[in-house]
Amino acid sequence: MSGELRVLGACPLDCPDGCSWVVTVENGEAVKLRGNPDHPYTRGALCVKVNRYLEHTRADDRILYPMRRTGPKGSGQFERITWDEALDEISVRLRGIVEEHGGEAIWPYLGTGTLGYLQGCEGVAGRRFWNMLGASKHWLNICSAAGSSGLTRTNGTAGGMDPENFALAKLILLWGTNTLTSGHHLWKFIQDARAEGAHVVAIDPIRTRTADQADEYLAIRPGTDAALALGLLNVVLAENAQDEEFLAEHTEGWEDFRQEILKYPVETVAEITGIPAAAIHSLGMRLAHTRPTAIRATQGLQRHQGGGTALRTIASIPGVTGDWRHPGGGIAYSTTGHVHFDIDTRDDLLAKPVRTLVMTKLASQLDDVKCLWVYAANPAGSSPDANAIRRQLAREDLFTVVMEQFPTDTVDYADIVLPATMQTEHQDLHAGYGHLYLLWNEPAGPPPGECLSTTETFRRLAAHMGMTEPSLFDSDLELAEQLLSSGHPSLEGITLDRLRKEGWVRLNYPQPFAPFAEGFPTRSGRMRFPPAGKAYTPSHTAGARGGGSPYRLALVTPASHTFLNTTFGNNPELRRRAKDPVVLVNPADAAARGLVAGQRVRVHNDGGEFLADVEISDRVAAGVVASPKGRWPKLTPGGANPNAVVAERDGDMGRGPGFHDNLVEISPCAGP
């Protein structure tokens, strides 16, 4: 190959923006990566993390060949082996486990390292192969399950507004979301709205960089968001500003919900949330009299004990105000509910029903698992109760296979490591969960070393094990054709040939898009308000406030501006920019504990501890501390990140995790 080519692709990472990108290839080598200027949402820009993606694919610590463990589990000591040797050993071990313990003793642990519908979690990559073995199913609840469940109970789907329509809003509530760090492309549409006079409010336990840019910031206690929603609606009712026509035509359960709202006057809500009553009343007045109002609520908001209820109640606001009538009104959480692919995991290949194991219950549900197969995930760095996970991963009777690109903490515990491709090296189909576009990713070059894609790995393993089921050997293009064949009107005219040629295509929804102006995808066709007594479930930390726990500080672990989950946690330049880990502490809490700025401290509870440097700041309220997620434990002082103190606790819906719902204490480190 000679000359210059422009290869269209898509960012695969766990971010709502699902960027379209362009790779410049010169003489067969990818030399430049940029955001696609022709894509209406990407608009030519990538984030600070992904700008270094090409460099990352060529990193010195890239895993290029299959490896077998040679040292103790956790040591990270391996020897290079061939693919045939790896597949031989895996085949023997899998057959033995199925024969002795049954297929359900195998746990395929698939994460959000790639959101691809071919290679990643959105299409449940590899599930057909696992069904042939009768392996346990995997509930991928780590990201958005609680909120999706709450929204679905209200609206019939987690899909909502087209985020591009934020440009039409007159009031914008950025609720528990740090847009400029976690999905910055939305900000351009917010700026368009502000140019037309929109008022932007940030609601967050942390005064983030997004809150700094908002017109107004409300510092809310973690996990009290549903109470605030009820308080704001209380003001709407006091103003008699509810949309009675919309309520009558398109909702059910209104009278009971109305009575629930009346139980939350502004003064009560101020006591619950920590927000001054005057600020709640002022925002309630804006909400009552500003159409359209757009609410952006993302995944961080629902990572607590009452997270599903919080999204369910917040999603009720546009039903009361009638904002769903108006383009630019409503709530945007995830647009995935508007994507209607035909995802056929071939459950008919199962000989009998199998159990489902829960991603964030890895430590407690591994006891009777004999094979853990990890792909697109780094649970030793990303999942709750990290210390208990490490103890489980150290079991000699647990056969662990990890498909990976880099030597993560999880890789250190593997028996077999299989080298995985990165996005510029394989085909994939994507749909961002923060916009309404499908994207095709074409490889910009061959994989380095002996790296294989997820789909090719499972094709080879199926052949090695003598499986003959034809669907196990479908090519990537055949799988993509199947996904696009659902017949849903939103896919009309969208073919694989067109996607490969154009790189991206908008789903067939109108612009502007008012998804529920004429009804909801529920059984009754109506929005369903929360039932009496079910509109506010306090988080663990909010419920424990004033109790007898020795741990008095509510820990929030927000997204890092530098890392994306634990992706890029080993990138030298991004690690340099991130510096050492910090914990934000309010001046009052620092003074009460004798802490000084820059001091190395232990953040701890009964589950464990991690080390961080104190940053004394009013960006968090008294009683709240914050330390960003995303660091690799083995590259972090003390060998632990905040997940060491995150409890393995289910939320109220979807078994959502509680990453932002843990009580801790802070103590100085011993020694100099």
User: What domain range includes position 215?
Assistant: 160-333
Of residues 343, 375, 351, 353, the one with CA closest to residue 137: 353
The CATH number linked to 414 is 3.40.50.740
pLDDT in tens, 183-217: 999 999 999 999 999 999 999 999 999 999 999 99
| Mean pLDDT score of the chain | 96
Amino acid, res. 557:
T
Asked if 330 and 324 touch (Cβ cutoff 8 Å), the reply is yes
Whether residues 36 and 75 share a domain: the answer is: no
- pLDDT category of residue 549 using cuts at 50, 70 and 90: confident
Q: Which of 58, 82, 104 is the last residue of a domain?
A: 58
Whether residues 284 and 186 share a domain: the answer is: yes
How many structural domains compose the chain?
4
Whether residues 54 and 77 share a domain: the answer is: no
Q: Is residue 309 part of a domain?
A: yes
Whether residues 500 and 547 share a domain: the answer is: no
Q: Is residue 642 part of a domain?
A: yes
Q: Is residue 352 part of a domain?
A: no
Of residues 260, 269, 268, 203, the one with CA closest to residue 237: 260
Distances (CA, A) of 211 to 82, 238, 295, 307, 525: 52, 28, 15, 21, 36
Percentage of the chain beyond pLDDT 70 is: 99
pLDDT of residue 248: 98
Mapping DSSP to helix (H, G, I), strand (E, B) and coil, where does residue 85 land?
Answer: helix
Instruction: Tell me the two tokens of residue 477.
Output: 């293009």
The CATH number linked to 192 is 3.40.228.10
Percentage of the chain beyond pLDDT 90 is: 97
pLDDT of residue 134: 98
Whether residues 197 and 82 share a domain: the answer is: no
Whether residues 279 and 390 share a domain: the answer is: no
Per-residue burial over 443-457, b = 16 or more CB atoms within 10 Å of its CB, e = otherwise: bbbebeeebbbbbbb
Q: Which of 39, 58, 77 is the last residue of a domain?
A: 58
What angle do the packed helices 225-238 and 254-262 form, to 10 degrees? Answer: 100
330-338 average pLDDT score: 97
Q: Both ends of the chain: CA-CA distance in Å?
A: 59
Q: Is the pLDDT of residue 543 over 60?
A: yes
pLDDT in tens, 454-481: 999 999 999 999 999 999 999 999 999 9
Mapping DSSP to helix (H, G, I), strand (E, B) and coil, where does residue 322 land?
Answer: coil
pLDDT in tens, 430-440: 999 999 999 99
Whether residues 167 and 192 share a domain: the answer is: yes
Q: Is the pLDDT of residue 670 over 50?
A: yes
pLDDT of residue 388: 97
pLDDT of residue 671: 60
pLDDT of residue 2: 57
Give how far the C-alpha of residue 43 lies from the chain's centroid of Cα atoms, to the nearest Å.
Answer: 23
Q: Is the pLDDT of residue 595 over 60?
A: yes
Distances (CA, A) of 48 to 214, 413, 522, 561: 21, 31, 40, 8
Question: Read out DSSP for 488-516?
Answer: -GGGTT--HHHHHHHSEEE-S--SS--TT
Q: Is residue 516 part of a domain?
A: no
Residues 6+ apart with CB under 8 A from 559: 178, 181, 182, 300, 628, 629, 630
pLDDT of residue 1: 43
pLDDT in tens, 9-57: 999 999 999 999 999 999 989 999 999 999 999 999 999 999 999 999 9
87-96 average pLDDT score: 98
User: H or E element: which one contains 588?
Assistant: helix 587-593
The CATH number linked to 10 is 2.20.25.90
pLDDT in tens, 553-569: 999 999 999 999 999 99
The CATH number linked to 567 is 2.40.40.20
Q: Is residue 44 part of a domain?
A: yes
Distances (CA, A) of 619 to 112, 209, 236, 626: 30, 10, 29, 9
Q: Is the pLDDT of residue 641 over 60?
A: yes
Whether residues 562 and 450 share a domain: the answer is: no
- pLDDT category of residue 672 using cuts at 50, 70 and 90: low
